[in-house]
Amino acid sequence: MAVAASHRGGLREDLTCAICCDLFREPVMLPCMHHFCKSCISRYWRGLQGAASCPHCRQEFSSKQFHTNYLVTAMVEKVRASCSDSYIRNIEKQLKESLENHLLKKEELFNIIHRDKQKMDTIKSVGAELQARVQGEFRALQQFLQEEEACVLEQMRWEQREVMDQLQCHLEASREAVKELEQNIRVLQQATEASENTALTELPQIRPCVQVCAAPELDMKAFSAKYTVPLQYITWRKMFKSLKPGPAPLTFDVDTAHPSLHISRDRTVAVESAGGLLPYKPGPQRFLQCVNVLAAEGFRSGRHYWEVGVGAKPKWDLGVASELVDRHARVKLSPESGYWTLRLRRGGEYSAGTQPWTRLPVGSAPQRVGVFLDCDERRVSFYDADSMSLLHCFADGPRGKVYPFFSPCIVDDSQRPQPMHILHHPGVSLVV
């Protein structure tokens, strides 16, 4: 800007008439190449006595003649325009706007930087918290394994020591018996030597022979068989029971089941009845409009996980339901109405149970669905239980008590009803 201004100042000086000391008006050039306003040089020459001359370099000319210089005229007009008030005001306005714009942009960038830093701080603190949590989970498993290992080794050492102690006793008794025998042998040998010289009248006194009991039985096969078992599997089975949360061995609550559902005797299988409604005991907890059923156990706090076998069923809903849901009303499943669910329709369309439904991109059809309920963090997550890949998570989960929820749905008459299973793992009773 400073360079431009000084440049403009120099130009203005060059385009200033030496007579009127203002910008040229109708500039004309004399033969000496100096410029003046046409009126200024005309007035100057009118006042002159004698030959015309240049007021600047004093060169004299034979006649009073000059040439109009259009280039200089155009330049003067430009400089004059650039010095006008409106032009300057416009420039000043543009300057001000540009400056304000820059200041705003700078402020915006500062805000972005601040937000980025805040996000970085957040991710750092959340990361540290998560790290501690992950470490805690693994530490619990490691501690379980260490305790199990110590327990098995202690048992093995105890058995080993027991046999060793018995053998040691037997060894010492045998040594003692050897000593007694050696003593008697010595007495007998002395008596034999003496009998060569003199006739013995009686046998020497010897101690009675010590009886050593039979050596303890050592069944090495039985001993090692105890410790050459599938130790990893046995330990894993025990560890499985200690998982927090491990798959909960839930059962269906038959008193909540819609009358068209048949519940197995062990209350782990639900399937729609082929013959319409089954006889039922009416009650406020029973679903009457939708083909639903709840688990017998509800949760208000803590973290819980369970798995549901859906096999190749083309249609189902499952998840959790608030204990407060109206069992006699026909409602659209959504968190607003007290249901946090995952649903399948037409054999391949998976959705989260929101209003409207949120379609989920699910690659391969899960045969088993894992439901993870974290009451304290109010989260409900669904997994493909075979790969444990996350299918959907409700981050704004339920408050208050909820029950595992299942809806085997009704399929049309052309299809065979397929059951929904609550899975108990690993195919054994998990009663600890």
Q: What's the sign of the alpha-carbon dihedral 35, 37, 40, 43?
A: positive
Distance CA 11, CA 76 (A): 9
Q: Using the minimum distance from each CB to Zn ion, give the nearer residue, 60 or 147.
A: 60
Amino acid letter, 141 = L
Task: Read off the tokens for 346.
Answer: 């037409």
Q: Using the minimum distance from each CB to Zn ion, give the nearer residue, 54 or 261.
A: 54
322: phi then psi, degrees, rounded to nearest 5: -65, 145
Nearest approach, Cβ of 26 to Zn ion (angstroms)? 9
If DSSP codes are grouped into helix, strand and coil, which group holds residue 381? strand
Give the x-and-dash track for 36-55 against Zn ion (CB under 5 A): -x--x-------------x-
Residue with the CB atom nearest Zn ion in the bound state: 54
Query: Does 17 engage in binding with Zn ion (CB under 5 A)?
Result: yes
Task: Read off the tokens for 332.
Answer: 């659209």
Write out the binding residues for Zn ion, residues 50-89 only, by CB under 5 A.
Answer: 54, 56-57
Query: Does 32 engage in binding with Zn ion (CB under 5 A)?
Result: yes
Query: Does 209 engage in binding with Zn ion (CB under 5 A)?
Result: no
Nearest approach, Cβ of 40 to Zn ion (angstroms)? 3
Task: Read off the tokens for 424.
Answer: 């108990």
Write out the binding residues for Zn ion, residues 112-131 only, by CB under 5 A.
Answer: none
Among 11, 31, 34, 72, binds Zn ion (CB under 5 A): 34
Size of interface with Zn ion, in residues (CB under 5 A): 10
Q: What's the sign of the alpha-carbon dihedral 19, 24, 30, 33?
A: positive
Nearest approach, Cβ of 19 to Zn ion (angstroms)? 4
Distance CA 55, CA 19 (A): 8
Q: Which stretch binds Zn ion (CB under 5 A): 26-34, 42-50, 92-100, 373-381?
A: 26-34
State the DSSP H helix or E strand holding residue 41, giving kind and residue range, or none if neither.
helix 38-46
Task: Read off the tokens for 113.
Answer: 């930087």
Nearest approach, Cβ of 34 to Zn ion (angstroms)? 4
Nearest approach, Cβ of 17 to Zn ion (angstroms)? 3
The CA-CA-CA angle for residues 261, 267, 272, to 5°, reads 15
Contact 53, 61 (CB under 8 A): yes
Nearest approach, Cβ of 39 to Zn ion (angstroms)? 7
Nearest approach, Cβ of 59 to Zn ion (angstroms)? 5
Site residues for Zn ion per CB under 5 A: 17, 19-20, 32, 34, 37, 40, 54, 56-57
